[in-house]
Structure 1
Amino acid sequence: MKKIYLLVFASLFMLNCSSDSDNSAEQMYFPPTDSSNTWETKSITDLSWNQSAVQPLLDYLEQKNTKSFIILVNGRIVMENYFNGHTATSPWYWASAGKTLTSTVTGIAQDEGLLNINNKVSDYLGTGWTSAPLAKENLITCKNLLSMNSGLNDALGDNVEPANLQYVADAGTRWAYHNVYVKLQDVVAEASGQTWTNYFNTKLRDRIGMTGGAWINSGDGLSVYWSTCRNMARFGLLSLNKGKWNGTTIVNENYFVQATTTSQPINQAYGYLWWLNGKSSYHLPTSQFEFNGTLMSNAPSDMYAALGKNDQKIYVIPSKKMVVIRMGDVANPDNPTFALSGFDNELWDKINDLYQ
């Protein structure tokens, strides 16, 4: 009788864990990088997810001004939906979710020995790239730009010309969300002897099949990346696999792990231009206030995310072998934000219903 009880218990345990174990055992899939645009799929039924939760999620996404939405599990498309006139071939902007592209390409350039993120920015751009006193400017390393703790004034708008990059605090002593990170693109260009666009295309975009995406100048020395939702999903898949694409290293795994780990002691929820869930506190753009608790309480604690203005989202969840992409207009027009918004937790409440 005791053996029967043990067998029943084991069977129930295996049944409860079957979905996650199947996901972890299944081989990771990578879509081809040619122009075929083929991509393997996996159904909600195959995953033993809750089919009745799909339509409420879709209704919510459409209501919240979404244009495109994708869920990948083990690289395969589980959901791919387009709304409000958007299609699979429609490009859309990444906004600050594209910061993670700059982080990744900086890591690639370091892998190639072109730069070292611990070196000061002026080693590559020369002095006078800010209007800070020279001694203070020389404190700012490439790693400070990746970590958002350059010490430069974040209250002066998006312009990254020297006159607008003014000293507030010593590098490393103050966390502030600032578009000065874009100077890393200039660092990569100077270090490689190529334009940023050319280096990015050859070292990242083309190698993982993000065909057609482009950097569009938005003024003030900034460029914003535009692509299809599937191209954003490709980058999410690369990120899920810690910089590897179908067995090929695109960016060194050690660097990628650093990029998705707390990068400085002030904002626990920030890596190298990646947002990190599951930490005990966090800071937000335009504020020096520390919030207690995790970034997104409804989302998995191991998630890291690329978050852009008007709710452009890349969520990467290693424990579930999952990537979630959302592109569109701002979800809550009365409360637009630069990165995190109330939409994140609301959306994860709906996503959780799929598999809980």
Structure 2
Amino acid sequence: MQPITKNEMKVFPPYKEDIVTKDNWFTSQKNLQRYCHSGDLSPSRIIWRGNQNPTQLSYTKDQLNLEKIKDKNAESVLSYLERTNTDAFLVMYQGKVMYENYFNGYKSYQPHAMNSATKSFVGLIVNLLADEGLLDINKKSSFYIPELDGTGLGDGTVQQLLDMQVPVKYLEADTPLGIGRGTPIFMATGSIPKPDNYDGPENLYDFMTSSKKDKIPGTAFYYENGQTEALGWIVKRLTGKNLAELIQEIIWSKLGTEENALMQLDLIGTDIASGGMRATLRDLARFGEMMLNDGYYNGQQIIPGHIIREIKKGGNRKYLAESNHSHLSGFSYHNQWWVSHDQFGGYSARGKFDQQIYIAPKADTVILKLSSYQSPISEKANAFQAIIDYLVKQ
């Protein structure tokens, strides 16, 4: 038996200041870290891994030395990981794991909060249903969800929702945390407490139907959560299945994953399409490899290749450059994926607190970063480019 040192022991019951609640999870780096590591604050639904054996990841004998690899600003990759409060990091090159490590007490088997990286899974589900003829991406969302007729979200087409081109506005509300545009979604999902005078949406459906038109759909990039929630509502209405079940059937159970993933639920049991998924680093590496190989993994074509090739084309770069995401210079957004238009053909799933699944097809590389980084802006990672530059020169 491995000895347990005093520093590893926890106090039971925990001290009051060590208890993370919906009132304080965003108030300190320590509490945010615990929130990202654990899904205990909210109910969740299992995304079952299936009953097959896990696919085996292949590892190189010598792992990358990230202290020696430096970006264009002379910052080492390891320093970057520490500065951005990384919980887990993995690099795959030519199908082999070149680096895998865990920080801040995060365990390899723990599902980590993915936040908005969940959106990219939703985009795949929507495009697959369209590919099967179950929906027309050029029809307005209100065609499939009549309850959205007359709302801001109902005025956009499915494709415009996929590309975040349905500018909407919501009720303004003061909150103790003050996080995120369209803050009422955090109260509608039960993620943060409601102020005493709150009279807004009590669940995700209320949140979506409260949306108001801000600009003409298709004329601007406006990244926000309601558009993905509308997509989630559409696929559930068409299939009669919840989102966790769809991700399980279409993607997760086919990858040969090691662990179940999880989907956070709102107060009435609705999957949070815009940011509710949790998964482990290694399983997301399997997903990344599937995307890198145009949908083929574990001996099968999981997602049709043309769906992924369409993602890689990207969207309207001018719209994004004119938005409040202009710090992502050169990027576009298409089908719920961020496309960087870099020399590696890169595209990524990205989430709040710096979750990143970056796929670089032209460099045969997948890089994953799970974090609990409080910075309001997820950086354009020069470190990722430094890693790829190093790999392709070897």
Do 1:51 and 1:354's aligned partners in 2 also have CA atoms closer than 8 Å?
A: no
Q: What SS does the aligned partner of 2:168 have?
A: coil
Q: Hey, what does 2:245 align to over in structure 1?
A: 198
Task: Return the alpha-carbon distance in structure 1 between the equivalents of residues 167 and 135 of structure 2.
Answer: 22
Q: Does 1:216 align with 2:216?
A: no
Measure the CA separation in 2 of the matches of 1:228 and 1:158. Answer: 29
1:341 aligns with 2:356: no
Q: Between the two structures, name the one with larger relative contact order (CA 8 Å, sep ≥ 6).
A: 2
Specify the code of the residue in structure 2 equivalent to 1:114. Answer: L
Please state whether the residue corresponding to 2:334 is helix, strand or coil: coil
Q: How does 1:203-352 map to 2 (within 5 A)?
A: 203-210=250-257, 211-217=259-265, 222-223=272-273, 224-264=276-316, 266-267=319-320, 269-278=332-341, 300-330=343-373, 333=374, 335-337=375-377, 340-341=378-379, 344-346=381-383, 348-349=385-386, 352=389
Q: Deviations over 1:6-39 (max 9, x none)?
A: xxxxxxxxxxxxxxxxxxxxxxxxxx99344632
Alpha-carbon distance in structure 1 between the residues aligned to 2:101 and 2:302? 29
Question: Which residue in the other structure is 1:284 paired with?
Answer: none
Matched residue SS, 1:233: helix
For 2:212, the equivalent position in structure 1 comes to: 166
Please report the RMSD computed on the Cα atoms of aligned residues, expressed in angstroms: 2.9
Write the distance in 2 (CA, Å) between the matches of 1:245 and 1:262. Answer: 23
The whole-number CA distance in structure 1 between the counterparts of 2:230 and 2:80 is: 38
Aligned pairs, how many?
Answer: 292
Say if 1:107 and 1:251, in contact at 8 Å, map to a contact too. Answer: no
2:156 equivalent in structure 1 = 140
Structure 2 residue aligned with 1:182: 229
Question: After superposition, what is the alpha-carbon deviation per residue over 1:41-88, rounded to whole angstroms, capped at 9, x for unaligned?
Answer: 12458xxx7787269534542343111111112322111111111121
Gaps of 5+ in 2: 1-49, 71-75, 171-180, 186-203, 321-330
Kindly indicate whether the alpha-carbon contact (under 8 Å) linking 1:54 and 1:354 is maintained by their aligned counterparts in 2.
no
Query: What is the DSSP-based 3-state SS (H/G/I as helix, E as strand, rest coil) of the residue aligned with 1:260?
Result: helix
Per-residue Cα deviation, 1:214-247 (whole angstroms, up to 9, x for no partner): 1112669635100110111111111111222245
Task: Describe the superposition over 1:172-193 as per-residue Cα deviations: whole angstroms up to 9, x where unpaired.
Answer: 1121001121221111111112
Shift of 1:171: 1.2
Partners in 1 of 2:256 and 2:149 — Cα distance?
34
CA contact (8 A) 1:94 1:226 kept: yes
1:41 aligned to 2:54?
no
CA distance in 2, matches of 1:177, 1:138: 16
- The residue number in structure 2 matching 1:14 is none
Alpha-carbon distance in structure 1 between the residues aligned to 2:314 and 2:365: 21
Aligned to 1:150: 166
Cα distance, 1:57–1:43 mapped onto 2, change above 3 Å: farther
Residues 261 and 270 of structure 1 are in contact (CA less than 8 Å); yes or no, is this contact kept in structure 2? no
The alignment-based identity, stated in percent, is 24
How far the C-alpha of 1:260 sits from its partner, in A, is 2.4
Q: How do residues 49-68 of structure 1 correspond to structure 2 at under 5 angstroms? A: 53=68, 56-68=76-88
Query: When the two structures are superposed, what TM-score results if normalisation uses the length of structure 2?
Result: 0.66
Tell me the distance in 2 between the aligned counterparts of 1:124 and 1:146.
Answer: 15
Q: Deviations over 1:80-118 (max 9, x none)?
A: 111111121121011111211111111222233222222
**Greater share of helix:** 1
CA deviation after TM superposition for structure 1 residue 164, in Å = 3.3
Distance 1:241 1:350, change over 3 A: closer
